[in-house]
Amino acid sequence: MLAGIAARTSTLTLGLLVGSVTYRNPALAAKITTTLDVISRGRAWHGIGAGWFQEEHTAYGIEFPTLKERFERLEEALQITRSMFVNEQTTFAGTYFSAHGAFNNPKPIRGDIPILIGGSGERRTLRTTARFAQHWNFVGGPPEEFARKRDVLHAHCRDIGRDPAEIVLSSHVRLGPNGEIGPAIDTAAALGDLGLDLAIVVLPPPHDPAVLAPLADALAQLR
């Protein structure tokens, strides 16, 4: 679906919020995202996380390891993914994943692809984000909770000598119970005052596409 959208648009950025590390081999996932980047002329991001939806894994017969193992898999996968994006060949030997002279050609249009990690776990998710990602997505909650998680992420960045400004901060914002745009606008404004870079509006089905134009106009006024 993303490839189809990429071929028919010129400005939208495209990616997952987010794919579980359990779904695909990381070298293959990197090649898939790179193909999307090439089709879109450099508009793709690579969204990945440790996974949480056990029922979906069960439905499709996908292994659902312990949380600890899923995070270990994620950290290995991110090392392979970054190498696949920027290096001529990738060789990696881990506990769960490996690659041996793997190619990824053609390369990403921009020479790299931003990695997006979503979630709010302070000890593993945000630390992993500080190490590997260029984009962190807060899955939603009160503005004060966003601010606290932001500070934890920035502390992890300082621990490894990384500039926190290198990481884009986004958050889900939601319409009102009857599709009103006001709650989404208010949340985006409050989060913007706390350093949010990008509001990602959740449009649960069924929704009326007519809401998009006034929503975009109202959000544009917040800049």
* Domain spans in the chain, listed from the N-terminal domain onward: 2-220
Q: Sorting pLDDT into bands at 50, 70 and 90, what band is 82?
A: very high
23 burial type by CB count under 10 A (0-12 exposed, 13-18 middle, 19+ buried) = middle
- Alpha-carbon gap, residue 142 to 83, rounded angstroms: 36
pLDDT higher than 90, residue 140: no
Instruction: Print burial letters for 113-141: b (CB count within 10 Å at least 16), e (below 16).
Output: bbbbbbbbbeebbbbbbbbbbbbbbbebe
pLDDT of 204 > 80? The answer is: no
Note the pLDDT of residue 12. 93
DSSP 164: G
CA distance 219 to 223: 8
* pLDDT tens track for 154-178: 999 999 999 999 999 999 999 998 8
Question: Looking at the predicted structure, is the pLDDT value of residue 207 above 80?
Answer: no
**Rg (the chain; Cα; Å):** 18
Q: Whole-model pTM?
A: 0.92
- Percent of the chain residues topping a pLDDT of 90: 84
Report the pLDDT value the prediction gives residue 210, as an integer from 0 to 100. 85
Give the pLDDT of residue 178. 84
CATH homologous superfamily of 2-220 equals Luciferase-like domain (3.20.20.30)
Q: Tell me, what's the pLDDT at 45? A: 97
According to the model, what pLDDT value does residue 181 have? Answer: 92
For the chain, give percent helix, strand, coil, nearest 5: 45, 15, 40
Span 42-55, mean pLDDT? 96
Taking residues 199-222, report their average pLDDT: 85
pLDDT category, 115, cuts 50, 70, 90? very high
Which one, of 117, 112, 113, lies nearest residue 170 by Cα? 117
Q: Tell me 69's DSSP state.
A: H
- pLDDT, position 177: 87
Task: Give the C-alpha separation, 66 to 81, whole Å.
Answer: 22
What is the rounded distance in angstroms from the CA atom of residue 184 to the CA atom of residue 84? 37
- Mean pLDDT (whole number) for 26-53: 97
